[in-house]
Structure 1
Amino acid sequence: MMAPLRIFNHWRFCTFDPTGMGGGYKRRERFNNAVFISPKRDFLFTKNEKCANVTARISLQHLVAGRQLPENFKDIDRWFAPLLQPSDLRLPRIDDINDIPFKFAVVRNPYSRLLSFFLNAKRENFASKLGLDPGMNFADFIAQVTEQTPEEMNRHWKIQYYNIFCDVIRYDHFIRFENFEEDFRNVMSRFGAKTEIHSVHKGQSNAGTKIAANYTTEIARKVREKFAIDFESFGYSTELPV
């Protein structure tokens, strides 16, 4: 499919809502950019920030490419990349996306996902959006984000149920970030002989090992209550990891 046609399809999907997805332009644009579909239409992957998102999608782009991609390949402009967007399918209605036989995403324990973002992100880049000082502590950050609605949340800390559009996509499998490499490699092997994982990890904080040092009972309560749908939907215990 030629890039100009893909660009047009993207614009049409986001602007006119031909599938009846509903919501505004920004929601449809986010959906169209977050969902990655194989050219054979045999799998669908949805990115989920702070859950090995870049590593997963770049590995999948290489898996389906059918040609050698540059080692430094990036898929910022989706219409030049092998994996398709929902708009490329020209679906008559959005629910038809669930006809794709295998739909998956990577999820993560909400406690460590939030802490990972806080420890890794440059505070000056998001502090003003939250009305906080760059010198904020983790308690300040959690107090602010747990007051937001899902629509107000940045995708890097947004409730995962909504971040991967569980209200639209009926998933067949969730890979747990905590067991990412083994499970992701198994999924890749279903769709091709190449199972090379193109890791792009940068400045990893190992947040899962720093839970006790950063969480208080009150912080944990706020996360547990605000992200309750994530704990329930993805089978994570609400007890703090040891």
Structure 2
Amino acid sequence: MVTWVEMKTSHFPTRSLAYHLHPLPEHGIVYVKNPKAACSTILLWLDRLHTGEHDFDPDDVHTEHRLPRVGQIGRKRVARMLSGKAYRFTFVREPLRRFQSGYLDKVANPDGNWRSQVQVALGQEPDQQREVSLDDFVTAVERQDPVSEMDPHWRPQHVNVMTSLIDYDHIGRIETFADDLEVIRRDAGLPEVPVKARNVARTGGRVDLFADRPDLAERVRAIYAKDYEIFGY
């Protein structure tokens, strides 16, 4: 059985583990959050499932959802759910596309607040107003330790979702999102709930920043080599 201490020390030593876990005991499911892989859409779906309010559509579902917190349910119970006492699922995304989405949304975007993290990794003085190039972002991430230093928005996905500890019932892919969500709903015996895609326009899915930079693409693929191997991309 996986324990809370084991998950915390091996995968989230410097970050909140509870923030990435969304258990719904009444439905017998637990979702492990993987940033930049449809988290907003899944959280909205879970909130509607939990409350029965299918028209709920907040500005920021990450802070406004009504899902029960780990503290309310209890760490031991959540650990048991992740050990097989509940239906366990998560979603992943093609690593290069996820990396690009993280860069555009969190670093290149002037409204993002993640530039300082990248600049510190580059040995620079943090300056939110100074732009960070794609080249610089790749270099910064290469220098960061995946567990203790990388931000969850660009950490390897197998680290975020703790594949070494959790035996998932289903790992969906963003590329086949609707089909995978239906598999989860059916296999977990969940009622039908309307799904509304969130934050689609900000992901840069139709842009390919690496089209003319195969050198950078190869460096990114090397960072996420284990993701490619584990998730079969």
Normalised-by-shorter TM-score class: 0.7 to 0.9
Q: Which of the residues 93, 103, 106 maps onto 1:118? A: 103
1:62 counterpart letter in structure 2: R
- Report SS of the residue matched to 1:49: coil
> Contact between 1:49 and 1:156, CA under 8 Å: does it hold in 2?
yes
Q: Displacement of 1:109 after TM fit? A: 0.8
What's 1:76 paired with?
Answer: 63
Q: How do 1:139-178 and structure 2 match up within 5 A?
A: 139-150=135-146, 151-178=148-175
The reply to whether residue 229 of structure 1 matches residue 220 of structure 2 is no
2: CA distance, partners of 1:219 / 1:167 = 28
The reply to whether residue 181 of structure 1 matches residue 182 of structure 2 is no
What's 1:201 paired with?
Answer: 199
2: CA distance, partners of 1:145 / 1:91 = 34
> Cα gap change, 1:207/1:67 in structure 2, threshold over 3 Å: closer, same or farther?
closer
1:162 counterpart letter in structure 2: V
> Contact between 1:107 and 1:174, CA under 8 Å: does it hold in 2?
yes
Q: Displacement of 1:141 after TM fit? A: 0.8
1: CA distance, partners of 2:215 / 2:132 = 17
> Cα gap change, 1:198/1:68 in structure 2, threshold over 3 Å: closer, same or farther?
closer
2: CA distance, partners of 1:168 / 1:162 = 10
> Contact between 1:107 and 1:175, CA under 8 Å: does it hold in 2?
yes
Gaps of 5+ in 2: none
Identity of aligned residues (%): 23
What's 1:52 paired with?
Answer: 38
Runs of 4+ deviating beyond 3 Å: 26-29, 66-71, 92-96
**TM-score, with normalisation over the residues of structure 2?**
0.77
Question: Structure 1 residues 115-124 or 205-214, which shifts more?
Answer: 205-214
1:231 counterpart letter in structure 2: Y
Q: Displacement of 1:231 after TM fit? A: 0.6
Q: Displacement of 1:169 after TM fit? A: 1.9
- Report SS of the residue matched to 2:195: coil
What's 1:14 paired with?
Answer: none
1: CA distance, partners of 2:169 / 2:71 = 18
> Contact between 1:55 and 1:200, CA under 8 Å: does it hold in 2?
yes
Once the two structures are superposed, residues 204-227 of structure 1 have per-residue CA deviations (whole angstroms, 9 ceiling, x without a partner) of: 34436515435x232122212211
- Report SS of the residue matched to 2:63: coil
Q: Displacement of 1:42 after TM fit? A: 1.7
1: CA distance, partners of 2:176 / 2:118 = 32
What's 1:191 paired with?
Answer: 189
CA RMSD of aligned residues (A): 3.1
> Cα gap change, 1:45/1:200 in structure 2, threshold over 3 Å: closer, same or farther?
same
Q: Which of the residues 79, 84, 93 maps onto 1:99? A: 84
> Contact between 2:38 and 2:91, CA under 8 Å: does it hold in 1?
yes
The reply to whether residue 129 of structure 1 matches residue 127 of structure 2 is no
- Report SS of the residue matched to 1:193: coil
Q: Displacement of 1:137 after TM fit? A: 2.1
Question: Structure 1 residues 203-212 or 159-168, which shifts more?
Answer: 203-212
> Contact between 2:40 and 2:62, CA under 8 Å: does it hold in 1?
no
2: CA distance, partners of 1:228 / 1:92 = 33
1:136 counterpart letter in structure 2: V
What's 1:61 paired with?
Answer: 47
**TM-score, with normalisation over the residues of structure 1?**
0.75
> Contact between 1:39 and 1:64, CA under 8 Å: does it hold in 2?
no
- Report SS of the residue matched to 2:67: coil
1: CA distance, partners of 2:70 / 2:63 = 12
Equivalenced residue count is 216
The reply to whether residue 88 of structure 1 matches residue 83 of structure 2 is no
Q: Displacement of 1:175 after TM fit? A: 0.8
